[in-house]
Chain A
């Protein structure tokens, strides 16, 4: 079974530029998550999709971050414009649902390391 795919693996940009990350979850996983992990901290959930609908985006800085999952499969996360404090690893994860809203463990991709100069 193929894992969660992410690209690019690394990205260096200057502040005020825009950047986009791509994620392809495990086949059949309806739930997709984007996390931000700042160095030395645990991952922080940015947005959660159920198929192509947003379940939770309460911690997404909506003035500069956006995400979509148009066909309910792969997803993109965009930052525009980037700030220095956006430097972090952006992790994508997916999971399946057992029964009604009993979630199983999450499977993570390798992440994209973003450096904003």
Chain B
């Protein structure tokens, strides 16, 4: 079963704009990860945020985590055409304070950045 629910399902923006994607989940987590998948290619890890962190940055990416609301958001600033891809959140469930490394992926957000 898919734990993460992403919103929106599809997002279309112009180059230079910011893109925000949201993820909600149901159970307690150890960490939450975001992955990108380009058309016809495998998934690439973008960023990992642990359950005791609230915000994390990596280049043009900013991830927030609100464990009280069981939600996360991914912000891509100053988007480029090359950012066009599907973006997935994945949760690593919490089992007594440790993880088993089992990721549960959401359905993904399809981002299209127009040049």
Q: Enumerate chain A interface residues (CB-CB to B < 8 A).
A: 4, 31, 33, 40-45, 48, 55-56, 91, 93, 95, 97, 100-111
Closest residue of B by beta carbon distance from A105: B45
The answer to whether A43 and B100 touch across the interface, beta carbons within 8 angstroms, is no
Query: CA separation between A100 and B97, bound complex, in Å?
Result: 11
A103-B43 contact, Cβ under 8 Å, with A42-B4, A42-B88, A44-B105: no
The answer to whether B42 and A108 touch across the interface, beta carbons within 8 angstroms, is yes
Query: CA separation between A63 and B45, bound complex, in Å?
Result: 32
Count of residues in B whose CB is under 8 Å from the partner chain: 25
Query: CA separation between A104 and B31, bound complex, in Å?
Result: 10
Q: What is the distance, in angstroms, from B2's C-beta to the closest C-beta of chain A? A: 6
Q: Enumerate chain B interface residues (CB-CB to A < 8 A).
A: 2, 4, 30, 33, 35, 41-45, 48, 88, 90, 92, 98-108
The answer to whether A110 and B105 touch across the interface, beta carbons within 8 angstroms, is no
Query: CA separation between A33 and B33, bound complex, in Å?
Result: 16
Closest residue of B by beta carbon distance from A104: B48
A108-B43 contact, Cβ under 8 Å, with A56-B100, A103-B100: yes
